[in-house]
Structure 1
């Protein structure tokens, strides 16, 4: 209905590639990265009964910090009967960055649906850069009807022993988390496992809880993690909404 733009974040005109009218919305950050001392705050409201896929055209980059912490916080409010699919591209933590990344999701009612993923790249593996200095904190909160259903906090320091420990990250630089909360089939986790097969077992896990599904990826390649999570999104969409995934066309550019 109207659009107002202030600051470095821009929302493109929404696309409607799906027959049910689901809006595909691209959130752009033209500067391309977050430097020390920068703070980005994103707030999304989905009115009751609406459907939206929110994504970004490129990776979020946290550059080396020289002027304090850099932060990005995202708040998403999902109305009754609404569906929010928050599927941003990866977040790259450059060596020397001090980054804080937070996502808070509030679902108004049990018939609301949220599916979202977050990928962290510790350093730039393709360029041979490790995350040897700095720190990163990731915080994810999901509540349903005023009650918390998922809360987690990840805090890592560059080149800490925990990053290399076999019981933790095992030296793997790509960490992915995918959360689904909302109505879904009872055998959704089994469907996900059947879809991915045995080859994904070393890098992927899925758990089904009372309120939804939690998936993890821990590996060496961002392309592998994205491919697995996109296939999971397709399965969960069919199990929860009765339709197949429609990948945003910006991902193909």
Structure 2
């Protein structure tokens, strides 16, 4: 009896840290392993950019990627990805993505990866953990695309587990969990995706979060104009939350780009350009 061959799995780890030195945010440490890399292109302005790269070209069942970004006291950093992440069909195991973000006192981090595209039969387990000081500022975006609509793909099989945990001064201030075991039902159900094929979550965790709620709601209304997009903003203590849903991934990208440009006072990184 022949045994099934052991399939090669992708492994990758990036640990990047920036610190304030001579009045500017500068790279302090970079460690990278396997199929994960980080680039630091020159950008205009005082906030440096780190671009994460998956050289495996995507992830499938059994793959494991670990991303960690640390911003020192008073420093600032924007992190994005070179391209949209692709989660391919799995033979049974989950593709795992673990993200850890650390912000020291007075630090600012904009976590702005491009979309994660889920293919039919894909399985993704993703976890995002944030440890931040009380006066640090985090703006984090994660977008999901359910299938390749340009190819007529509609997700029916697969699984998703998405976990967020944010701690400020060691205290848990935000936790959410999304689990989908039946994409067909979840995407069609009115109480869940309601037919949407793309979604995004934006979290702004900062001392001024409450002061920016009206602005965020106005921007959400703007995002809905002229696009096939639903958008809304809400607030909990210290955390501003904006949600986006769309039947079209490109419409979602345009709406999210407009929101981020106005909210941050600058456009997303150039790698976002379509």
TM-score over 0.5 (shorter chain): yes
Does 2:253 correspond to 1:232? no
Q: By how many angstroms is 1:62 displaced?
A: 0.8
Alignment partner, residue 10 of structure 2: none
Q: Report what 1:216 is aligned to.
A: 243
1:7 is aligned to: 34
Paired with 1:58 and 1:199, the residues of 2 have a C-alpha distance of: 23
Q: Secondary structure at the match of 2:33?
A: coil
After superposition, the Cα gap between the structure-2 partners of 1:199 and 1:60, relative to the gap in structure 1 and judged at 3 Å, is closer
Q: Is the 8 A contact 1:188 1:208 kept in 2?
A: no
TM-score w.r.t. the length of structure 1 is 0.89
Indicate the residue corresponding to 1:155 in structure 2.
179
1:3–1:103 distance in 2 versus 1, CA, 3 Å: closer
Partners of 2:202 and 2:143 in 1: how far apart? 9
1:128-139 equivalent positions in 2, closer than 5 A: 128-139=152-163
What is the SS of the residue equivalent to 2:125?
strand
User: Shift of residue 121 of structure 1?
Assistant: 1.0
Q: Mark the runs of 5 or more structure 2 residues left unpaired by the alignment.
A: 1-27
Partner of residue 127 from structure 2, selected from 102, 105, 123: 102
Structure 1: gaps spanning 5 or more residues:
238-243
User: How far 1:208 sits from its partner (Å)?
Assistant: 2.2
- Structure (1/2) with the larger strand percentage: 2
Q: 2:72 aligns to what?
A: 47
Report deviation, 1:4: 4.4
Alignment partner of 1:66 is 2:91: yes
Look up the SS of the partner of 1:149 in the other structure: strand
How far residue 220 of structure 1 moved from its aligned partner, in angstroms, is: 1.1
Q: Which of 38, 47, 50 is matched with 1:22 structurally?
A: 47
8 Å contact kept, 2:187–2:194:
yes
Bigger Rg, which one: 2
Q: What TM-score do the two structures reach when normalised by structure 2? A: 0.82
Paired residues for 1:98-247 under 5 Å: 98-108=123-133, 110-184=134-208, 186-197=210-221, 200=224, 203-237=230-264, 244-247=265-268
Please report how far the alpha carbon of residue 93 of structure 1 lies from its aligned counterpart in structure 2 after TM superposition: 0.9
- Count how many residue pairs are aligned between Structure 1 and Structure 2: 244
List structure 1 runs of 4+ shifted beyond 4 angstroms: 1-4
Matched, 1:250 2:236: no
Q: CA deviation at 1:210?
A: 2.1
- CA drift at 1:115: 0.6
Summarize deviations over 1:76-121 as a string: whole Å, max 9, x none.
Answer: 011110000000000011110111111111112x210111111111
SS in 1 for 2:34: coil
Is residue 47–residue 78 contact of structure 2 (8 Å, CA) maintained in 1? yes
